[in-house]
A and B are shown apart, each in its own frame.
Chain A
């Protein structure tokens, strides 16, 4: 293998990260992000020759300064497990940079074969241990996570009182508020770090096992829909379905106890609660709801690693809309329960039928991979609830409490403004706050922070109107980093698609009729009488072919036609001869000239016109 480096090409379809201009009116935006998040001139030689892609999956919106902690911590954690614990042989960790508020990432490959072999030794032993003891280790993980969430719940952001209570003066081991504020803040940050550490402990291995099953299925049945693979693996009794299951139960209860009339579309949760509170039945229904809220209302209102998403506890409009919908469906006589038996039957039927379509020798690995995937899958699904939803929504709220403290003392106009400061700036502001509280002197913070917040607010609004390119830097010949493929689904094909969008009219698309890629000179043939002109090694470009063209297929390297499907004559004959073919391009014979250099990619159905600059 030519190595896992992202091969350097002389030309790239993507812009250099150093060529991106600041969004107008946002000059100086870099100051709100860490110095190491920049495309800095001192790292140019390296950074410009790497492939960076926009991590729109986790960071779809411009990053507020505080939320950068949700880049740093996860990448510290994922790199630790991947690179330092499991030592995934070809891949270390992930670097990130920020451009106009958007996060671009790039994996660090391991290229030295000796190093890869050395790491493989660690990986096999350590990952093997996890796979063998998965259920037990995952059980312990859940205990750890639940304990951490409980600890976060107990964390109190102290007030800054005029006078400390008597306890501080007379009790043992009492701390003053200055220490408490700083301590609680740093503990909140450390708890976040710990959550991210837990988050990634199983993630790579879980995704890896599942990803291997996906690859196995696609390797043997390339067209299998992702949905079917997921259906074969997915659990029946999944934690993430629990919240809605509880809502369905509450919907039934509302009907049984006659309080369903309060759930009218268009009413806010507060209006519904107010009406319910007026009757005994309503109050007891509300009491029942209270019991359900912890933990099941710790669902997040959206996906994404930033503070904008809150939980159902903070914004109950989503669960109340579901309740109203369930009640209406029940009135209409509809079945609202998840048909678990049907789902289970379908899951087993899919597994059996796909298994039977495989060759004999592939059935055991298929079944074993399916079993392993089913073992790891609860983690893959459930970590989101524990980490991304439950912990994180509460954690953002804890940060909001510090925002409220700063706002109370006029360091900020609004608690929400805290997210415009980086975690270090918040620490700094808190330092000054407790200092000025302690000394009784005049704080500068109220003058210092609000203009910074206002400016950053304006910048983020402008950033939101900018379209980040999908990738920056050098176009890789192939994506070989297993993490990039597994976690982001960024494959060679995907990158080519992006490049194509940047490219404009140099490509023709058609049906991928016979696999393989070749480059060569085009020979445009308009009728069978011209086939005598074809030279050895040329690429046939024509309207369509018929059996009369038979003699030429041993001469040519590939075929491109205007019309025809994957079962047309040209397609069939090319598969017989092992020649790449793209058929049904619509306009190849008029677009391409004889003697032009073209590339035929029969695997993906793309014809690229290479004339001029790239013809070599």
Chain B
């Protein structure tokens, strides 16, 4: 593809932090990870211009402003839900502009060429503006389409991501934070699919205690949907960053998993065979590999990260087997640690232990700071 034709898309590795405003947080952070040699499945990103082109060409601007005009207050949930539905239906009825379709086809062909598969499966995800910023994270407010094959399905999935911008949840969230609906836009990330045998989430701190010397890992069988969606109680590991020691390994019964649909398109939720449910899904070696990657990602971004990862089934189209699918800063890390013990001289801290500190406070039961 020549640069002249690429109006709305870029390869992930061509993105950097400055592109977040156009491509969204997810795509740009993946670009940064690739630049830092973190294993990320290859792919490309759609700019917000693609979204605007779609809205413009399909004549949807009017529909949007009419459907939710003046619905700023969070109180009117029913009205907002109805408006959101109207917009979604109109969007689904429209198709992706031809120029954009051609551009997507060309990008998709690059992935096909790289893998040697005619219609390689891809993951299509929303890459919302501001979604990944530390202030505005709202859990789960994002769309993902997995195991998408072929240009037509790709175009449909991209459009469906855009539709999610007007889901009732998203609309009510914007209303709550006082963001204008007309200004809403998003990027989209398209990546080669990892046929995950195991997957999950990793925090490069303990999200409950805020301990930055720990990496907390949740893992389950199959694609990450089950863990992220809270459909299984995943295996739960806590590993020391400093020594790679596994401080905690709670193995839970993992009753279901998401696997590629036998048709080759989409995913399907299946029961995990009873004998596999209680099997620990990450051994020490896999944990060590995850922690090593986690530390690199954290060092790159300079703050604790919330990372989605997957370990590919053997014999997939991708080399290696451990992949980072997404990384974003951990929000809401408890700060009780620094609060409870303000920096002071060593001797004054020791005096505090004996209840002879300047503030006269003893070793107040430190752990359970009730809110």
Contacts and interface: CB of A to CB of B under 8 A. Distances in A.
Interface string A120-158: 100110011001000000000000000000000000000
A567 B203 contact: yes
A211 B351 CA distance: 11
Interface stretch (B151-159, B276-284, B359-367): B359-367
Given A123-B354, A209-B350, A569-B139, A545 B368 contact: no
A542 B41 CA distance: 36
Interface string B71-100: 000000100000000000000000000000
Interface string A559-585: 001011111111111011010100110
A446 to B, nearest CB: 53
Contacts of B189: none
B356 A127 contact: yes
Contact of B338 (A127, A212, A362, A511): A362
B356 A219 contact: no
Contacts of A568: 227, 230
A116 interface: yes
Contacts of B356: 88-89, 119-120, 123-124, 127
Given A547-B169, A567-B203, A362 B343 contact: yes
Q: Is the contact region of chain B dominated by helix, strand, or loop, or is it mixed?
A: loop
Interface in B341-371: 341, 343-347, 349-356, 360-371
A392 to B, nearest CB: 27
Q: Which of A124, A218, A511, A566 has the most CB of B within 10 A?
A: A566
Nearest to B241: A357
Interface residues of B, number: 75
A480 interface: yes
Nearest to A496: B368
Contacts of A578: 371
Contact of A576 (B331, B341, B361, B371): B331
Interface string B206-224: 1111111110101000000
A209 B351 CA distance: 9
Contact of B363 (A209, A485, A514, A548): A485
A208 B340 CA distance: 18
Interface size class of A (residues with CB under 8 A): 35 or more
A221 B370 contact: no
Given A223-B211, A515-B208, A492 B350 contact: no
B331 A368 contact: no
A516 interface: yes
Contacts of B250: 511
A576 B343 contact: no
A316 B211 CA distance: 46
Given A211-B353, A547-B141, A573-B139, A516 B360 contact: no
| Shortest beta-carbon contacts, A-B, top 6 | A368-B346, A547-B140, A516-B371, A222-B209, A568-B230, A90-B355
Given A563-B233, A565-B218, A566-B216, 11 more contacts: A216-B349, A223-B209, A365-B345, A368-B345, A478-B365, A482-B353, A482-B363, A515-B368, A564-B233, A566-B208, A567-B234
11 contacts: A127-B356, A222-B211, A353-B241, A353-B242, A512-B208, A548-B169, A565-B233, A566-B207, A575-B331, A601-B368, A603-B367
